[in-house]
Every structure is written in C-alpha cells, then in structure tokens.
Amino acid sequence: MELRVVVTGLGVISPLGTGLKKNWERLLKGESGISRITRFDPSSLPCQVAGEVDDFDPLEYMDAKSVKRMDLFIQYGLAASLMAAGNAELELTELDPHRMGVYIASTWGGLSVFEKNLEILKEQGCKKVSPVFIPSGMPSMASAQVSIRLNAKGPVSSSSDGCAASSISIGDAFRVIQRGEADVVLAGGADYVTIPVTLAGLSNANALSRRNDQPSRASRPFDRDRDGFVMSEGAAILVLEELNHAIKRKARIYAEITGCGRSADAFHIMAPHVEAEGAVSCMKNALKDAGISPPDVDYINAHGTSTKANDRIETMAIKKVFGEDAYTLSISSNKSMIGHLMGAGGAIEALFSCLSIYHSMIPPTINYENPDPECDLDYVPNEAREKKISYAISNSFGFGGVNVCLVFKAFEG
C-alpha cells in the first residue's frame, strides 16, 4: 500500500526576500523583485536585469569558515533548509536519522566558484587554486551540506535536470516516502547563476528579456509584449513527511502531495514541442497518478516563463488537457514577480502552490497588460484572488524537453 505524503515545513530565499512571511506577503501584493543588476557592471550585456537576493546574511545560519567553503547556492540551500526544518518544528533529536533524507536540486551548481578558480589558474598558476573549490561548488553539495548539518542519514540526492530539476527532486522525495523508505525528506532546489557568463549565453540565445529600462516590468508571462525570461537566484525547500509520522507529532500540514507526472519532449535542446506533446502527457500523467480528473483542479501554478514560445505552448497544453474546463481554471505565474530561479524554480512554485491551498489565496500574474490572442485563459491578472482550492498543480518544463507536473491537494484529516 502506498503511503500518504504531506508538506509540513517551508523555507524560502528569493528576490522578494529571505523568509516565508516576507515572500508570501510581497507575492500577494504583486510586488516585483526584479531590478537592474548590482553585483557587477552589466552595461556590456544585452540583458541587464535579474532577480537578486539583497537581504541574505549567511552568518545567521552558518559560521564564517563555512561561508568561505560554500558557493552562494549552497549557502542559500542550507539556510532555506534550516528555515523549513524550523517551520516544520522538527525535533531532530527525536527523529530517526536513517529515516530522514535530503533531495536538493541545482541546475549548474557553483558556476561562480568554477569561474573564479579558472581565472586564478590562468593568472596565478596551479598552486593558487583553492583545494576546496570542487566540494564548494559541486551541484550535489547543497544536499550534502544539509545532510551533514541535520544528521540526515537516509536517502540523499541532487537533480540537475535544467529548469525542472527541483520539481524532480520533490517528485523523487515523494516516491521515497510513498514507498516507505523514509519518514521525512527535505526537498527542493537552490541556484546562483546570475553571473556574466550565463547571462551572456542566454542573451545570445535570445532567451532573456531586454527591457533594461523597466526592470520590474521585464517579466510579463502570457502578455502579448513579453520578450524573454529574467534570471533569478535563491532557494526553496519543502519538508515532505509521511502522514502518520506528521500526525503523531501534531505537525501543521500545509497540503498533501498526491501525484507526480513526468515526460520528455524528445524534440529540441531549448524549444518546447510545437504541439505541446510533452507538456500534455506530463499533466495527464500527474492527474492519473493523483487519481483525479481535469474538473477536480482549481488552480495551475504555471511554468509561465515570459518567453514567446513557452507561454503559448503551455496555454495550448492546458487547453488540450482540460478542454472547456481550461477556461474556468485560475492560472498564474510567480515568475512575473520573482523571475526564473532556474534549478530552484519548480520548488519555489511548489512552495507557493502549497501556501495558495493553505491560505485560499492565488498570487497574481503581474505585468499582464496586453492580452495575447494565443494566450486567452484566466491568468489572474495583476491582483491576488481569494479562492478555495481543493487541488492545485505546479508545472515545470526544462531545457532539453524535461517536463514535470506536481499535484497538491487541500489536506483532509
């Protein structure tokens, strides 16, 4: 018999700020966390805007020596994990460490550390390269550091499957608990890739917005005038827990996770399938896994990147899966306010989906000003909406055609 899995803790760092309360309040207000890049001079780049985190102090979560040995994405992942564990009120000394796992994804890992040490090697020679730069930047090291800090000796893993990576980590953690291999798993993602080389590469691929004179309006999913996505940074972690384990310790339950669907476009390294085949099968697989039908879904937290192709194809997919019910669905894109957190993107959208269910509130899609005839569904434009949600799904579609859809439901005791 498959076990039931619930979400009992949440931790988040994003361009909206550090901490759950600040993120949720700003999200519901429709505030943008996108600004002109400040960490370096972006004037030579086509895209000069990003979602930077400006209020994070790593010393609140780790000592100075640890900070020096971790790329920023690991710091984000560790801090968000500690927040999530605290939010779940986990008493670590009372948990079986061999029944506790960590699944934290990262698209590129410590790319900034690699970039820095390559420069050192070129300019100063071999002996000046840091002896710890490899473990300070490996994609798997966010999971490893959290495992060490929390004494989690159960399953530990890290996905790097593009923009769908953290949704895959959550889905894999869901299965681990469902099969009875763990009682508690911290799952999500962390990334810090808002650096010149990634911005240059994605700009040259015409993937990023060039609305440099209006940063807060640059990310505009489903709007007719969208011109690309905005790269961001941060982390989001969910505490997934076996239901009886959560009930026994009287945990707060935000939502229940009931399904995960996956698929591949098998089409192109960057573009979505022109007929939305992968996205359609992914959502259908998720609904089947959850044991529900399209009319049961009240809300879709869309991948909604603000690129011409993605938003059009995702809209097409929703119509193909939900038929006429597509027009009664509430759909919104958190990326309109936080940009694209890359390897953490799916996790933060899953986190906000759980909060939407728990609080009966749907965050808006901001900057939706000019309707696109090919994107004609209800995207909850510009203002949050109160709505009771029984089921919500969260879509993640990554480069290479990797698709994941997670299903969450309101918890019923």
pTM over 0.85: yes
Superfamily covering domain 259-409: Thiolase/Chalcone synthase (3.40.47.10)
pLDDT at position 114, please? Answer: 87
Residue 150 confidence (pLDDT) above 90: yes
pLDDT at position 261, please? Answer: 98
| In 203-298, beta strands by DSSP E | 234-242, 255-264
The number of C-alpha atoms within 13 Å of 119 and in the hemisphere containing its C-beta is 7
* Alpha-carbon span 363 to 26, nearest angstrom: 10
Q: Kindly report, residue by residue over 60-115, the tens digit of the pLDDT.
A: 999 999 999 999 999 999 999 999 999 999 999 999 999 999 999 999 899 898 88
Q: Are 179 and 24 in contact (CB under 8 A)?
A: no
Q: Are 261 and 283 in contact (CB under 8 A)?
A: yes
Average pLDDT over the chain, rounded to whole? 97
- In one-letter notation, the amino acid at residue 43 is S
Which residues are annotated as catalytic? 163, 303, 340
Task: Single out the residue of 340, 254, 235, 240 nearest to residue 18, CA to CA.
Answer: 235
pLDDT at position 141, please? Answer: 96
The architecture (CATH level 2) of 5-248 comes to: 3-Layer(aba) Sandwich (3.40)
Q: 92: which strand partners?
A: none
Average pLDDT over residues 129-136: 89
Phi and psi at residue 11, in whole multiples of 5°?
A: -140, 140
Query: Could you tell me the residue ranges of all domains in the chain?
Result: 5-248, 259-409
Q: Kindly report, residue by residue over 311-338, the tens digit of the pLDDT.
A: 999 999 999 999 999 999 999 999 999 9
Q: Are 220 and 306 in contact (CB under 8 A)?
A: yes
Angle value at C-alpha 277, between 171 and 407, nearest 5 degrees: 30
Q: Kindly report, residue by residue over 253-271, the tens digit of the pLDDT.
A: 999 999 999 999 999 999 9
Task: Single out the residue of 11, 100, 28 nearest to residue 380, CA to CA.
Answer: 28
For residue 132, name the pLDDT band (cuts at 50, 70, 90).
Answer: confident
Q: Tokens 């490899």 appear where?
A: 134
Q: What DSSP designation does 306 have?
A: S
Question: Does this chain's domain 5-248 share its CATH topology with 259-409?
Answer: yes
Q: Are 306 and 230 in contact (CB under 8 A)?
A: yes
Q: Kindly report, residue by residue over 182-206, the tens digit of the pLDDT.
A: 999 999 999 999 999 999 999 999 9
The number of C-alpha atoms within 13 Å of 278 and in the hemisphere containing its C-beta is 24
Q: Kindly report, residue by residue over 274-303, the tens digit of the pLDDT.
A: 999 999 999 999 999 999 999 999 999 999
Q: Are 31 and 16 in contact (CB under 8 A)?
A: yes
pLDDT at position 133, please? Answer: 86
For residue 413, name the pLDDT band (cuts at 50, 70, 90).
Answer: confident
For residue 1, name the pLDDT band (cuts at 50, 70, 90).
Answer: confident
Q: Kindly report, residue by residue over 364-405, the tens digit of the pLDDT.
A: 999 999 999 999 999 999 999 999 999 999 999 999 999 999
Tokens of 318: 């929703």
Label the pairing between strands 391-398 and 299-301: parallel
Q: Kindly report, residue by residue over 52-65, the tens digit of the pLDDT.
A: 999 999 999 999 99
* Alpha-carbon span 299 to 389, nearest angstrom: 7
What Rg do the C-alpha atoms of the chain give, in angstroms?
20
